[in-house]
């Protein structure tokens, strides 16, 4: 079967996929149809926290499939309550609501902010987000996403959203007014290439919200669950948000998203919100097995150590290759900025050499590997990027 040809015929053309068909995974490795192994530093876009085929996750899924797969939220089931308990015990929040994706998590956060504004802030409804943010593809989440390239084709956006320059405390302060119901920030911006706020900026956001009563919300869909070398991204800044949206790795590789709220933001009441599949027992069982394994195997600490090792490795390459402009990261969210615009070529070259990386723009490579990454994997990855850089010289970027 020519799968690439079939995709062209029967699938909507929204993805520009790389020419590889994966059929199997094991640990931090994927295997294609011919059995060729690839070291995976993308992990299903920051989803596969334990890599592929972790026995604890497989066992949890098998057992739950055999017992009960879905009932709806008209009744009680145990896996979502167990997972909610874990999340409440391991976060600054008090209550959880489950949906199926990161976008839906942020949709839920929008509804929380608006209801909170109605109840407690004289009808304030505006939500402030930062330039270059990414919060998902549904219309509300898209309105949160302050990137014109994602919004233009689908204008007009729903009203009630306001954008501020990234990491600019004065601009944030100036943007907040009596209409502001919430500020929503990614602790580290993921999809726009691992942009990290100054700690002072996040603390100022917290202070501003404390002064006005607006909610501080963190989109932890990518940064949560150990990714940044702490269990939550917000911990890196010494603050606590009122609402967190979560997703990506939450379901251990199955679709699951959610929000965690502090008691003050527990404003949704019966009839306000729902989800047919949200909190699906199989996804929640997989998620709980994933999170308990992250804890029992010390993978948050491993993410911090491997993230530092990876940044050090790429910084060494800077001395060899003029192409590299900057290396930055937090835990296992690592980016390499280039002086050139051939990041996509480097991604393809690395793929040919058995390494999966990703580029968030023509000038930025991004790595969000599984948290189980070993030191030898880091060395292998840096070695392959070294070769790819040596073999793929490109003219400097116009503005570089
Ligand atoms: C991926 C991502 C989303 C969207 O998640 P989906 O599951 O694709 O809807 C939202 N916010 C952030 C920060 C993300 O990285």
Q: Is 206 helix (H, G, I), strand (E, B) or coil?
A: helix
Residues of the chain by 3-state class (helix, strand, coil), percent to 5? 40, 20, 40
Phi-psi region of 83 (alpha: psi -120 to 50; beta: other; left: phi over 0): alpha
Please list every protein residue whose CB sits less than 6 Å from any atom of ligand 1: 101-103, 106, 134-136, 186, 190-191, 219, 221-222, 247-248
Atom 5 of ligand 1, nearest CA residue:
102
The CA R_g of the chain, rounded to the nearest whole Å, is: 21
CA gap 133, 186 in Å, rounded: 7
3-state SS record for 270-310:
CCCCCCCCCCCHHHHHHHHHHHHHHHHCCHHHHHHHHHHHH
What per-residue confidence (pLDDT) applies to 398? Answer: 57
- DSSP state, residue 266: -
**Token pair of 117, please?**
């504004």
- Distances in Å between the Cα of 289 and the Cα atoms of 63, 94, 260 are 12, 21, 19
Task: State which of 150, 218, 221 you would mutate to test the pocket of ligand 1, scoring each by most atoms of that ligand within 8 A of its C-beta.
Answer: 221
pLDDT of residue 297: 98
Distance from residue 187's CA to the centre of ligand 1 (Å): 13
Q: Report CA torsion sign: 389, 344, 149, 20.
A: negative
Which of 109, 133, 135, 136, when mutated, tests ligand 1's pocket best, judged by the most ligand atoms within 8 Å of its CB?
A: 136
How many Å apart are CA 240 and CA 242, to the nearest integer?
A: 7
Cα dihedral sign, 316-317-322-328 = negative
What is the average pLDDT across 387-399?
78
Q: Whose C-alpha lies nearest to ligand 1, atom 6?
A: 102
Question: Which is the closest atom of ligand 1 to the Cα of 136?
Answer: 4
**Distance (Å) from CA 122 to ligand 1 centroid:** 31
Is 70 exceeded by the pLDDT of residue 66? yes
Span from the CA of 147 to the centroid of ligand 1 (angstroms): 14
Distance 1 CA to ligand 1 centre (A): 32
Summarize pLDDT for 216-234 with one digit per residue, the tens: 999 999 999 999 999 999 9
pLDDT at 132 over 80: yes
Is 46's pLDDT higher than 50? Answer: yes
* Mean of the per-residue pLDDT values of the chain: 97
Lowest mean pLDDT among 17-21, 25-29, 157-161: 17-21
pLDDT in tens, 101-123: 999 999 999 999 999 999 999 99
Query: H/E/C letters for each residue in 222-258?
Result: CCCCCCCCCCCHHHHHCCCCCEEEECHHHHCCCCCEE
Q: What is the pLDDT of residue 29?
A: 98
Summarize the confidence of residues 85-111 as an average pLDDT. Answer: 98
Instruction: List, in sequence order, every beta strand (DSSP E) within 57-196.
Output: 95-99, 126-130, 161-164, 180-185, 188-189, 195-196
- The neighbour count for residue 104, using CB atoms within 10 Å, is 24
For the stretch 282-337, pLDDT in tens is 999 999 999 999 999 999 999 999 999 999 999 999 999 999 999 999 999 999 99
Supply the pLDDT for residue 397.
59
The answer to whether 366 touches 335, Cβ cutoff 8 Å, is: yes
Q: Which of 193, 197, 288 is nearest to 183 (CA)?
A: 197
Q: Strand 215-219 relative to strand 180-185: parallel, antiparallel, unpaired? A: parallel
| 12-16, 52-56, 248-252: least confident range | 12-16
Please tell me the predicted confidence (pLDDT) of residue 393: 81
pLDDT score for 1: 83
Q: Is the pLDDT of residue 400 over 50?
A: no
* Ligand 1 atom at minimal distance to the Cα of residue 248: 7
Q: Is the pLDDT of residue 54 over 50?
A: yes
Percent of the chain predicted with pLDDT > 70: 98
pLDDT per residue as tens digits for the range 363-376: 999 999 999 999 99
Is the distance from CB of 69 to CB of 279 less than 8 angstroms? no
Say what the pLDDT of residue 399 is. Answer: 53
pLDDT at 395 > cutoff 80? no
Residues 6+ apart with CB under 8 A from 233: 186, 187, 188, 218, 220, 223, 224, 227, 330
Q: Which atom of ligand 1 is nearest to the CA of 220?
A: 13
- Please tell me the residue having the least CA distance from ligand 1 atom 15: 222
pLDDT digits (tens, 9 = 90+) for 244-258: 999 999 999 999 999
- Whether 207 shows a pLDDT value over 70: the answer reads yes
């Amino acid at each position: 079967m020519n799968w690439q040809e079939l995709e062209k015929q029967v699938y909507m053309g929204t993805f520009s996929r790389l020419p590889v068909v994966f059929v199997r995974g094991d640990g931090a490795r994927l295997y294609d149809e011919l059995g060729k192994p690839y070291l995976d530093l993308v992990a299903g876009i920051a989803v596969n926290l334990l890599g592929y085929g972790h026995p604890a996750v497989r066992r949890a899924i098998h057992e739950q499939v055999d017992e009960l797969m879905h009932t709806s939220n008209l009744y009680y089931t145990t896996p979502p309550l167990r997972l909610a308990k874990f999340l409440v015990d391991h976060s600054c929040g008090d209550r959880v609501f489950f949906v199926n994706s990161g976008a839906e998590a942020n949709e839920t956060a929008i509804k929380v902010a608006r209801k909170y504004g109605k109840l407690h802030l004289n009808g304030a409804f505006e939500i402030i987000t930062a330039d270059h943010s990414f919060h998902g593809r549904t219309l509300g989440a898209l309105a949160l996403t302050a990137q014109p390239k994602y919004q233009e084709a689908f204008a007009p956006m729903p009203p009630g959203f306001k954008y501020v320059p990234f990491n600019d405390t004065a601009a944030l302060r100036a943007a907040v007014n009596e209409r502001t119901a919430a500020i929503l920030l990614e602790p580290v911006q993921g999809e726009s290439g691992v942009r990290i706020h100054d700690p002072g900026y996040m603390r100022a956001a917290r202070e501003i919200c404390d002064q006005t009563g607006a909610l501080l919300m963190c989109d932890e869909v990518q940064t949560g669950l150990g990714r940044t070398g702490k269990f939550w991204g917000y911990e890196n800044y010494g603050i606590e948000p009122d609402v967190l949206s979560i997703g990506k790795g939450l379901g251990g590789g199955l679709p699951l998203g959610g929000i965690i709220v502090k008691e003050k933001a527990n404003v949704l009441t019966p009839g306000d919100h729902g989800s047919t599949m949200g909190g699906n027992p199989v996804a929640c069982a997989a998620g709980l097995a994933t999170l308990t394994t992250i804890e029992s195997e010390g993978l948050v600490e491993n993410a911090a150590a491997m993230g530092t090792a990876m940044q050090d490795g790429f910084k060494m390459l800077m001395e060899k290759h003029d192409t590299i402009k900057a290396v930055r990261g937090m835990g296992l969210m690592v980016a390499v900025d280039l002086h050139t615009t051939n990041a996509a070529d480097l991604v393809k070259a690395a793929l040919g050499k058995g390494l999966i990386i990703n580029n968030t723009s023509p000038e930025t490579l991004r790595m969000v590997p599984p948290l189980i990454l070993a030191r030898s994997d880091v060395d292998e990855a840096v070695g392959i990027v070294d070769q790819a850089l040596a073999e793929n010289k490109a003219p400097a970027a116009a503005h570089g």
